Structure 1
Amino acid sequence: MKDRLFVWTILFLLFWHEGFSIRWLSLQHSTLHWNLSSVSNNPGRGIRSGARSPCGVARRRYGLAKLQAKLCRSTMEAMPHVQKAAVLAADTCQTVFKDRRWNCSSITTAPYLTPDLTRATREQAYVYAISSAALTYTMARACASGTLYHCTCAGKPDEPPNSNFQWGGCGDNIHWGVYFAKRFIDNVEKNNVDKSRKRRKGYEYDEDRKSKLVREEIAAVNLHNNRVGRRIIRESIQTQCKCHGVSGSCNVKTCWKGLPPMFEIGRKLMKQYTNAKEVSRYYVEGNLGKTRISDHLLYLSKSPDYCTKDVKLGSFGTVGRKCNVTTNETNSCRQLCCGRGYRTLVEEKLERCHCKYYNCCYVKCKICRTKTQIYECG
């Protein structure tokens, strides 16, 4: 345990000051209360600022970058939704990847990022995309629900309605969601690029210059993957309707543009993950600052195989993971256990069964004992 704590301490010291914009995902574990009733009208005073303010605590304990803490203080009313976005991103990622070797467990260690989320891997690309998408999604929904005074419902679509419906309702405000996500996430990575360029010019040694350039490249790839996440959100907007009429006859329909469940967004991004492109650092360097260098998720470094535990690579391994012996999918024992084999366990449960109603007022059940076999990777 002490060795593990030492390793995490070293990783923390190495990566804490890099300004990775996904450390805010640690808000999924937060117990902070965004006490808006005590907020001063002056954003520079009171609960918004100082070491004991929620934003100050979020910066120290939950890894918010300096720019994010600043935005927190000026827009604290949005922070409960940022916290919801962190939970949504983590839940979606872990649900989508639950049957794979990499089951998105890396996301739960924030703000102490594992190496697979700092070296521009395929997994890092997905986490950046899903976090950007989740923040856009949550803010767009918050606008539509009326819980943010910064924004309102989306405007009516430009396309004309047909004879079967009319535009109305309250659409999800993706425009404002994108605007906020860019300020909260992208600006941190842009700041990393700018700082790295300035520092790199002052270094005389090649190794120092290369180190700064790598940081620029990773930040540029992160920015790109953020944009991919938001693009999937834009492409997922769909027409949603509510019927009006006698006895639900639906003589008239009111429709608006809304977002599907976040799980659908996560599944679409998983396809992007599967088809992600590995690019060279020379390619990224030559395209730094360009608005679009690819429609795919991009990564720079090979991922670990996630079969065995390796803290240096950010792999938790698959030992002890439940697997399926009757399938050849990603959750099969053959794939998930990486050829190490599996063990069979018997799980016993006591459940109520054969329940019957007696007279009018009570139910009587028997207790049944059931046994099922489960399989765990060795």
Structure 2
Amino acid sequence: MFSYSVVTVLLFSVSIMATKIAEGSQPVLQRTIESLFTERSQIIHPGACRLLRSSPRQAKICKRESSLSSILQKAKEQAIQACEEAFLYDRWNCSLVFNRKVNRNIFNKLYRETAFIHALTAASITHAVAKGCASGDLTRCSCKGNFGKNASQWKRNGCGDDFKYGKRITRNFLDFKHAGTDQIAEILKQDVLVGVDAIGEQMREVCKCHGFSGSCTTKTCWKRLGPFNSAMGVLKKHYHHAVKKKLTNYTMKRAISPKIRRKMDTDKYKLVYLQKTPNLCVSTKGRVCRDRDNCATLCCGRGFVTSKKSVSSRCRCKMVNCCFVKCDTCVKEVDIYTCK
């Protein structure tokens, strides 16, 4: 007959095993997104990918494309920077924890913010890879352009960004194919595709004329992506218009039926989340507002403190000796509003 202490140890051991199994069974898609957005500093891991603890499939992709690891590092940095800039004066400012007192992490459940981060990270990977193709940093793809009927018209500076390759690498690296077919997996994949498509919407045609004396006897055209921040406006709109869904049954691992899939297709171009965001007001104490109107929202009615700050800037600039610009330094005091 087991004693109470032995039973307790056995139950504790079973609990640890169950936790490890659950962690090990987490899909690559979720694990990768969380890893890229959580590890704010550059952490070197063993293996070809170096940036994260890669799956065998991811390690194979990184080994095949040796420069992908640095591209992923760039994607991570630009995603975090763009997020923090876009949400600087919002109640949620891209923090990984909603409430530090209870340590409620945004990846514990599928909140609106979690859905947004999935879209944001996928968008950043797609953008960084597409740009890497055009710059020559990635060797297994090339710049895209319109060669026309005469390939000799092509100029090297007419080099387009390979969005299709960026999309393919993003899907493969996140192991889209094996992400699952249950309801939660379908929602996460949809959120990822919303991010990828937001990058595709930024593709613009750029043309350059060739000919004597500036004439346009021949024209080279290619497609190019704008800066990553240009996609943040689209992504933030998706964030504000995200759709809250309920699981149609309690067996989350059950593959969804065609009837349920048809219902999901009605919102297939929107971010989808499952849980309501916790109260964010407790985390805005001490935050700086953009202005008084922004304080009314950010400070949640608690009021704000006004202080003065000296700001230096260049002013009264003028041309000196033909080719140099000389400016004075002006100092002015500005109001700083801080939430109580």
Instruction: Give the TM-score band, short-chain normalised.
Output: 0.7 to 0.9
Would you say the 8 A contact 1:243–1:250 is kept in 2? yes
* Structure 2: tracts of 5 or more residues without a match: 1-18, 98-102
Residues 75 and 118 of structure 1: CA distance in aligned 2, closer, same or farther (over 3 Å): farther
Would you say the 8 A contact 1:28–1:83 is kept in 2? no
Would you say the 8 A contact 2:288–2:336 is kept in 1? yes
Question: Which residue in the other structure is 2:41 paired with?
Answer: 29
Residues 30 and 248 of structure 1: CA distance in aligned 2, closer, same or farther (over 3 Å): farther
Would you say the 8 A contact 1:58–1:69 is kept in 2? no
Does structure 1 residue 122 correspond to structure 2 residue 112? yes
Displacement, 1:193?
A: 3.0
Q: Residue 246 of structure 2: which of 280, 289, 311 is its match?
A: 280
Root mean square deviation, CA, Å: 3.9
Would you say the 8 A contact 1:120–1:221 is kept in 2? no
1:24-45 CA deviation, whole Å, 9 max, x = no partner? 235652165xxxxxxxxxxxxx
Q: Residue 133 of structure 2: which of 135, 143, 149 is its match?
A: 143
Question: Which residue in the other structure is 2:10 paired with?
Answer: none
Write out aligned runs for 1:1-378 (5 A): 17=24, 18-19=26-27, 20=30, 21-22=32-33, 23-26=35-38, 29-30=41-42, 32=44, 52-53=46-47, 55=49, 58-59=52-53, 64-65=54-55, 67-106=57-96, 115-154=105-144, 156=146, 169-187=158-176, 191=178, 193=180, 216-245=182-211, 248=214, 252-282=218-248, 286=256, 293=265, 294-308=268-282, 317-327=283-293, 332-348=294-310, 370-378=332-340
The number of equivalent residue pairs is: 298
Would you say the 8 A contact 1:119–1:218 is kept in 2? no
Q: Give SS of 1:104's match.
A: coil
Would you say the 8 A contact 2:118–2:192 is kept in 1? yes
Q: Give SS of 1:140's match.
A: helix
Displacement, 1:56?
A: 5.9
Displacement, 1:155?
A: 5.4
Distance 2:106 2:325 in 1: 54
Distance 2:50 2:227 in 1: 33
Distance 1:89 1:148 in 2: 20
Would you say the 8 A contact 2:111–2:274 is kept in 1? yes
Displacement, 1:333?
A: 0.6
Residues 358 and 256 of structure 1: CA distance in aligned 2, closer, same or farther (over 3 Å): closer
Letter in 2 for 1:232: A
Q: Give SS of 1:106's match.
A: coil
Q: Which has the higher helix share?
A: 1
Would you say the 8 A contact 2:183–2:256 is kept in 1? no
Percent identity of equivalent pairs? 34
Letter in 1 for 2:73: Q
* Structure 1: tracts of 5 or more residues without a match: 1-12, 33-50, 108-112, 195-215, 309-316
Displacement, 1:356?
A: 9.9
Distance 2:75 2:96 in 1: 17
Q: Give SS of 1:227's match.
A: helix
Residues 29 and 243 of structure 1: CA distance in aligned 2, closer, same or farther (over 3 Å): farther
Question: Which residue in the other structure is 2:12 paired with?
Answer: none
1:171-216 CA deviation, whole Å, 9 max, x = no partner? 21111111110011143xx54537xxxxxxxxxxxxxxxxxxxxx5
Deviates most, 261-270 or 74-83: 74-83
Displacement, 1:342?
A: 0.5
Would you say the 8 A contact 1:154–1:171 is kept in 2? yes
Question: Which residue in the other structure is 1:209 paired with?
Answer: none
Question: Which residue in the other structure is 1:45 paired with?
Answer: none
Displacement, 1:354?
A: 7.9
TM-score, normalised by the number of residues in structure 2: 0.72
TM-score, normalised by the number of residues in structure 1: 0.66
Would you say the 8 A contact 2:42–2:51 is kept in 1? no
